[in-house]
Each structure stands twice: as C-alpha cells, then as structure tokens.
A and B are shown apart, each in its own frame.
Chain A
C-alpha cells in the first residue's frame, strides 16, 4: 500500500503546475516547456482544440436560427452574461452562463468568464498597447496604491518577446507614452479617421493623437508563423468564434499547441482548483488540490513551482481558499490585503456623431481593428482635478444601405441593390484608469458554496468620485475634439454599467516592494511563499488605461524564466 501511494504520488508530480490556460497561463506554460520544465496545466473547463472545437467558425449568417440574436429565454436565464457584447448565438458556447458558477454581488458587478481551455483568449478584443514608464510610475508619482516594483525598461524586452510570437500589427508612432513594439504592418485607417488625425494635429499640436490600434493579428510576414501553424488574418471579424487561420493570437491557436509540441506539457481540463497545498515544514507550496469537474472527487497534484493564472478574480479566490495553520486567512496573506485593491477599467462613456464631409468616399473590405486615442490627460504631470486619465477607441464607418420605405417589387429591388449613403458615422468609447482602493475587494462568502463545495466569491467593487470626474471630462473633451473635426449631431452617453462588464478586473494580489503593503514581489512571487507565482490580472498594482492582456503575457513569460533560473540556483 505504501509503495502504491509513493508511485501514485510520483505520477502526480510535475516540475511546475500552471493553473489556468487563458492568455497568461498558456504563456507561462509555453515558456516553462520551452525551457525543458515538465509542466502540468490545469483548466477548470472543457478542452477546446484549435479549429476542431470551433463549431460556428465557418457558419454563414443564415445558418444561425435567430440570425445571431439572443432569445428572450436565454436573456432571462442569464441577466449578467447577456450584457456582454460578444455573448451571441455564434459564441455563447465559450462563455460561462449565470447559473454555472454563482457569485455574490455585494455591489453590482458583471463577472464575465470563459471556462474552457484557452479561457477568454478566444474571445478577447485583441488590443495590445504597451504600457510606458508613465504608466508604471503612476502610483509613485500620484501617491495612490503602492509603487510598482518593476520598470518599463525591465519589461520592455519581454513585451518584444511576446509580440514577436503573438504577431502584432501596428505603426511605429513614436509616442513616448505608448511605446512602439515589434510590429507587423498596421491595418489602415479610413479617410475620415485620417481627417480626425489631421484635425488633432492642427488643434492640439503634439498633445493628442489618434493612431491605428495595435492588434494581435498577423498582418504580414506569414512565414514567421508557419511553425505555429498560423497564417494571415483574413479580416473576417469573426474572432470570437475561434479563427481557423490562427489569424489572431489565442492560447488555443498558438501557445498551447506550441507547448504541446515540446513534449513537456500535460493538459488536464475539467479540473477545478480548490486550493494550493502549503507544507509548513518545507515552508513552501507543494501542489494543488483539484476537484474533478465530472466525478466531483478531490485529487492532488504536486510540483516545485506553481503559477496561478486562473483569471484575476479566480486567482484571488484560490489563494483566499488556500488556508493553513500558517496562513489562516489565505496563502501568503500575512498583511490581510489579499483580495483588496481590486480595480478595473471605466468603460461607461461613449460619444457618437456624424460627418457630412468626404461624402464622395466609402470603404470596402474588412479589418479587425479601428483607431485608438492614447491617454492624453495627466501624462507627464498632473493637470486636472482628477487623477490619471483615459484612452479611447475610435472608428468611422460608412456603407451603402437600402431604402426600405416601399413595399412590393420596389422594396425588393431596393434591398437587392443597396445604393444609399448617409453621412459617415463616427464613434468613440472611453477606457478609463480606476484607482485601486482597499474598499474595493473580493472575499469568500462565509456560507454560500458552489457545486464543488468551494466558497462562492463575494464581490464589492464600485466607482468613485474620481471616475465620475473622469467620465465627465472624457465626454467633454471628446465632444470638443469631434466639434473641431467638423463632426455634427454629436451624442454623448454614460451607460453607468456596473464594473466587470469591461472584462478588465485587476488586482487583489498586487505587486509591490514592501511585504507589509503588497502580496507579490517584483518577480511575481508571493512574498511569503516564493515558489508561488501570480502573473494574471490579479497581480496588477494599478490599471493604467491600456488593454491589459499584453502586459499579462509579458509578465508570465518573464516570471517563467525567473522561476527556471531560481530552480537552477
């Protein structure tokens, strides 16, 4: 019996365990496997194999029973996930339905989740703007949260590392606060977007810019991606279904098959991580407890190094649930700050308008991308009555439409020969930095559990006065820039949507220099348990304005290399 146990334990022992197969976890796994580390990647959801498990990827519009609309029954059953723009008939199967994994909303919070191999990397918006030194230096300069323990210069080579592999389209725009990277050719802007660029230059000099967003799409040099089995983006704009070309970066198309090919990766789907095992004698973590999602039985796996990449809030949940005599309040939680200082991006506000000019032009073809306003508020110094600032998306579009006033043959001929052109339509949405605060937190509910007997996560996150001021400023400034560009019929809106729907929740296990005020050190190790690394959104000390995935990828790759270097002593 004893021998059997030893054998069993050996079979369950790896050199590294990565919890989560989304954008950051799969990067950690890829790097570890490339460095020869026998790695177990654990995923709570089902397996999704590239191409094979994209059932809707080549479906034509008529093949969706409701032409991609949600039914009323689905909306009623899923009030939270139905709010997500990508939760439609073509991609519903990649989202967690409301009843599948309940959580407590102490304040309204729309928790958008993707539980499958690849996680939300199948569904993400694919924007990959780098952070600059002005982002990393934000908390220190402005006196909020804690100082980041790392600098842009330390991360820059890792940005390059992941950009080259993922494939990033973009222009070298030469902006100090949105550094250039390893770019493939950018997708083009249209005449009205270029018109806005010129207007900004004329009216704001070098202070405000609107550029082609940097996107994780292969747009050129396909030979560099042959080894990954990926090729050029075809501008289908159906990314959320999974891309048969591997045109955009996802764990499924890129890092996971790559790691598999090394022979060092073991993938274990349908395994819900319950907690990290801490060995008091050894003074370190020795593995994880999982619950098999099918049998509901608890099992253990062991490794020298553990990476937590379960997505920001679930990484918090796992650590909070990893209780031991040494860590009664959750693993590594000596200062009581685990789960606190949650922040997100403020996506509430939009401005839309029309443009009567350039009416001789329209567009043709497709592109997976639009324009991007890098942050222009408080970049180099504090200028406004609120802290930090916002980036913004921007797009202009115009196409032929049919006059549908008539009925009968006249209507039919109009529909079959659309030839009407309205004015250009332009639109922008805000992506605001929020300030991490101790009062924005997640914790484990003391009573409620999920189907696996794991305590439910309880979320208490809200906007504050800084967000209100920033929202008002965005609406005012974007309106002004639109007016100066000659746009008309300008409409502003503030959806007041709950936090969470931005799908950029961050923090709770923040990095910092001081173990008294942070959970992780500059190498993403828990201060108190250095063989546990956190490199997903949970590690974020502040949020800045950029879409965060690229930074998680760079963090994961950097931390994986650190872990290997440490183990080799």
Chain B
C-alpha cells in the first residue's frame, strides 16, 4: 500500500519518529496516515478484530493476515464523504459499548462464535441508539469483502487474476461449469 510505504520512507528520513505512533499501541496515539479519521491505534486494533471475524483465517489466510484493516481505513479516509466518515468513526467508537450492553463483556473476551453473533446482531440492529454501530458495521463489512477479494494474496495466490479473460462465449450452459471448490 503506497501510503504505508510512504510512511516507512518518512520514518527512515526522520530517524524512525514517524513509525512510533503507528506501532506503539500502549501509548494509543492517533495514527497519522489517516488524517481525516483521527483514529487511535486501539481503535484500529478493534477494527482489525472485527474484519477478521467477518473473514477469519482458516486453510487460507483471513482479513487480518493480509492487512485488510489498512485497506478499510484508506478507503474510508480517501473515498468516503465527510459526513459518512463521521458516522463510521462514531459507530466504531460506539461499538464497545454496544457489545457490553448486549453481551456483558468486551469484544476481545468473546469467543469466535460470540464475536460472529454480536456482529451479525449489529448489522441488523434497529434501535435508535445503535444506528451508527449498524452503519459502521455495514461499511466495515463491505470494505472487508472488497479489500479481501481485491488483495494481492487472493488475486495472485488463491484465485489468480488474469488481465486476459479469454474468448467470449455468449451461451455457456451453467450445468457444464465445473469449478473446483476452494475451501476457506
């Protein structure tokens, strides 16, 4: 990702100073790369855990393994309107409280099943106070899917992407298609 490479370069010329805020979670500083979001390291960590629940690791890698959270944040920072960025961040920040109210514990202490369950709930929640949570989860899910499927890993190692799609056939019998099942 260009932005991350640029930050590394910046870190090199400034003697590593720029790297500190994005890596040192304990200080929970704001991550400089996503200047419009003012997102803290801990918040990004939570987003990572959520994306990894949406697409977990298994036989093949999951969202966190291939840095999907960075993609989500690039897209929200760059390609989303200001008011939608505000709603996204409000939802991300309200999510811990939502989890606490619904389950009595924190997201990180839930089991894998528990995490899936609460995200599923949040995606369809209809209450007034959870409107941002729902908005955030829907956008996070959409960008998780996009970032995962349109990743270097998927497009080179799992389902190699061809720039040359082959000759057009305008009458393919669906029953004749026989693709090997990929087991996630």
A binds B: yes
Task: Name A's B-contacting residues (CB within 8 A).
Answer: 58, 60-63, 65-67, 69-73, 187-191, 193-194, 234-238, 360-367, 400, 404, 407-409, 411-413, 415-417, 421
Known contacts A62-B151, A72-B80, A408-B56; is-contact A366 B182 (Cβ 8 Å):
no
Chain A residues with CB below 8 A from B175, complex form: 360
Q: How far does the Cβ of A505 sit from chain B's closest Cβ, in whole Å?
A: 30
Known contacts A411-B54, A415-B145; is-contact A187 B168 (Cβ 8 Å):
yes
CB–CB A60/B172 < 8 A: no
Q: How far does the Cβ of B87 sit from chain A's closest Cβ, in whole Å?
A: 15
A65 to B77, CA, bound (A): 12
Q: Contacting A367 at CB < 8 Å: which of B82, B163, B168, B183?
A: B168
**Can you spell out 6 A-B residue pairs with CB atoms less than 8 angstroms apart?**
A66-B75, A71-B78, A72-B79, A189-B170, A404-B141, A407-B120
Q: Contacting B55 at CB < 8 Å: which of A58, A190, A367, A411?
A: A411
Query: Which of B13-21, B38-46, B95-103, B152-160 is near enough to bind chain A?
Result: B152-160
Number of interface residues of B (CB under 8 A): 55
Chain A residues with CB below 8 A from B150, complex form: 61-62, 67
CB–CB A58/B152 < 8 A: no
Chain A residues with CB below 8 A from B82, complex form: 72
CB–CB A60/B161 < 8 A: yes
CB–CB B146/A65 < 8 A: no
| Residue B3, interface by CB 8 Å | yes
Q: Contacting B54 at CB < 8 Å: which of A70, A400, A407?
A: A407
A482 to B45, CA, bound (A): 51
Q: How far does the Cβ of B137 sit from chain A's closest Cβ, in whole Å?
A: 9
Q: Contacting A188 at CB < 8 Å: which of B81, B123, B155, B168?
A: B168
Chain A residues with CB below 8 A from B135, complex form: none
A191 to B168, CA, bound (A): 12
Interface of chain A, main secondary structure: loop
CB–CB A235/B165 < 8 A: yes
Q: How far does the Cβ of B77 sit from chain A's closest Cβ, in whole Å?
A: 9
CB–CB A364/B155 < 8 A: no
CB–CB B141/A407 < 8 A: yes
CB nearest to A188 among chain B residues: B170
CB–CB A365/B166 < 8 A: yes
Tell me which residues from 45 to 76 in chain B have a Cβ below 8 Å from any Cβ of chain A: 53-56, 58, 60, 62, 74-75
**CB-based closest 3 A-B pairs:** A190-B170, A366-B165, A412-B184
Tell me which of A364, A365, A407, A417 has the highest count of chain B C-beta atoms within 10 A of its own C-beta. A407
CB–CB B161/A412 < 8 A: no
Known contacts A62-B151, A65-B74, A412-B56; is-contact A71 B169 (Cβ 8 Å):
no
CB–CB B174/A417 < 8 A: no
Q: How far does the Cβ of A70 sit from chain B's closest Cβ, in whole Å?
A: 7
CB–CB B168/A235 < 8 A: yes
Chain A residues with CB below 8 A from B177, complex form: 362, 400
Q: Contacting A415 at CB < 8 Å: which of B56, B149, B174?
A: B149
CB–CB A361/B145 < 8 A: no
Known contacts A72-B78, A190-B171; is-contact A65 B161 (Cβ 8 Å):
no
